Structure 1
């Protein structure tokens, strides 16, 4: 007889403990999820944006998804972005994630998910950096970070965790205080020289690998000549480049339909040209050899962020916490279980 699963709650501390120090393993897990997605073993509907007329810079996003294979789970991430939180001393983003049983559809776990979201974002970017650099035959030695919040810290951790080493590390942020804080973090963890740049232009032109993790709502990098030295760009924040910059580069996305919407830079480029010919392929295409990024053009990776990646990481966390014996279930969570009372 089929029964509803027990319902559990997994805290941020448990998530952190399950993921910390496993950057390479998590990156491999994200690669496996991308491959399942490329093989049509996932369902990843459009994200839904809840916006607020009185707070136009804030939003809450729902990312539903389903993954087959070893992950074998349905679910949804509910993640908020309230940039004004930073001034109040708390992180911009907060999130929860619900896992659903594939046989009954019953939810069986609620996980704190800001850490899961940051980890899968960083693992995705690190996978792209390593894969694209290897395919181009160019090893980046000078990295530059534009926007230095929590996501930038995770991105650096996952780049380093996947074996990338840098002689020079650049920083640019609109907040001098945040830039200095990130500089201190890098100096504690890196051997290379760390420089805070006065302008974003200075950082861009002196970096072989550029990491964009801003909260920009519209393009602020407008001149294609800033990428004339053919860097590799992890365009994680999605809205930093003008259409002209996008059109001058070799463009790789995580999913074409998902990325070209919601006012992203690739979406603006599509609106400007009326086509998607400037998209050269997906990360899955690069992984499988269907497309090869060139060394003599700037390469921009723009990941919209797929819910299937969140589910893959969340399932791993759930399995780890279960195996440790620390899973906290909620007795009686499902109460009305008899059809006729």
Structure 2
């Protein structure tokens, strides 16, 4: 089994791997499994992200421990193992910490590219740490003409690379066609009901207990898309909205639908919301892409 400590996938290859994986999922009779969480006795947990890549002939599972510490920040790691479906033997073990940041941003941007109109001009990134910067980078890759503003209250000095730093969220949101929420919040960051019809808002998950970035009360008034239907059982604001009477069948499509052009596209009459929580199919696709890249570079050196 090969251990790949510093896996690499280019932005182009990352997006291509995700498009292919979700495209395959769209016409598969087997639904992609969701996350599985194992709570640890002394606090923390380990999330498992399983998936099958039939074309590659591998089963993959990413495990991501979250280990709170008495002093200092929690320890968070991520490792993906690829297992051959023919031999049953492990093929590779990859450090997935950086890959997770990349696939999270690439997944958001892949969805946003399908949900935005062709003439979308301005994007706002709320929260500009590693994941926020990756979101901006992938957006520049698929929509190079869009201007990007970032609100980064903790570390504004990290804003650069053609991204405009702004002083507050209101300034970031003004006139934005796309709002990418990249915070570690466990409570509301914005209310999409205050945005113009057609504005696309994206949100990701974090390790914060009950993580959410919009109020559950807003969900019935926006057009909701998800990375997968299993997200409806995980995303806090969607779960709480359903508990208050919102019908999950109102979801207009998942990412596989969008990639395959099967989803109902935004009507332009209400704000649009894409919610992702991270899926094993994403981790499997990018791990396989990294494994193939490592094979190519290894052969090139031999």
Q: Same fold (TM over 0.5)?
A: yes
Higher Rg of the two aligned structures: 1
Q: 1:151 maps to which residue? A: 131
1:38 is aligned, of 14, 19, 26, to 26
1:194 is aligned, of 152, 159, 165, to 165
2:11 is aligned, of 19, 23, 40, to 23
Q: 1:193 to 1:111 in 2, by over 3 A?
A: closer
1:45-56 matched pairs, under 5 angstroms: 45-52=33-40, 55=43
1:229-268 matched pairs, under 5 angstroms: 230-237=198-205, 239-256=212-229, 258-268=230-240
Q: 1:222 to 1:232 in 2, by over 3 A?
A: closer
TM-score (norm 1): 0.77
Q: 1:119 to 1:260 in 2, by over 3 A?
A: same
Counterparts of 2:172 and 2:199, CA distance in 1: 12
Counterparts of 2:152 and 2:220, CA distance in 1: 24
Secondary structure at the counterpart of residue 111 of structure 1: strand
Q: 2:172 maps to which residue? A: 203
Q: 2:253 maps to which residue? A: 281
Secondary structure at the counterpart of residue 59 of structure 2: strand
Q: 1:163 to 1:74 in 2, by over 3 A?
A: same
Secondary structure at the counterpart of residue 24 of structure 1: helix
**Structure 1 gap segments, 5+ residues each:** 1-6, 328-341
**Structure 2 gap segments, 5+ residues each:** 206-210
Q: 1:27 to 1:310 in 2, by over 3 A?
A: same
Q: Does 1:100 align with 2:68?
A: no
Q: 1:317 to 1:41 in 2, by over 3 A?
A: farther
Q: 1:164 maps to which residue? A: 144
Q: 2:208 maps to which residue? A: none
Q: RMSD of aligned C-alpha atoms? A: 2.8
Displacement after TM superposition at 1:298 (Å) = 1.0
CA displacement, residues 210-253 of structure 1 (integer Å, 9 cap, x when unaligned) = 11122223x31464532245421111237211122222111111
Secondary structure at the counterpart of residue 244 of structure 2: helix
Size of the alignment, in residue pairs? Answer: 294
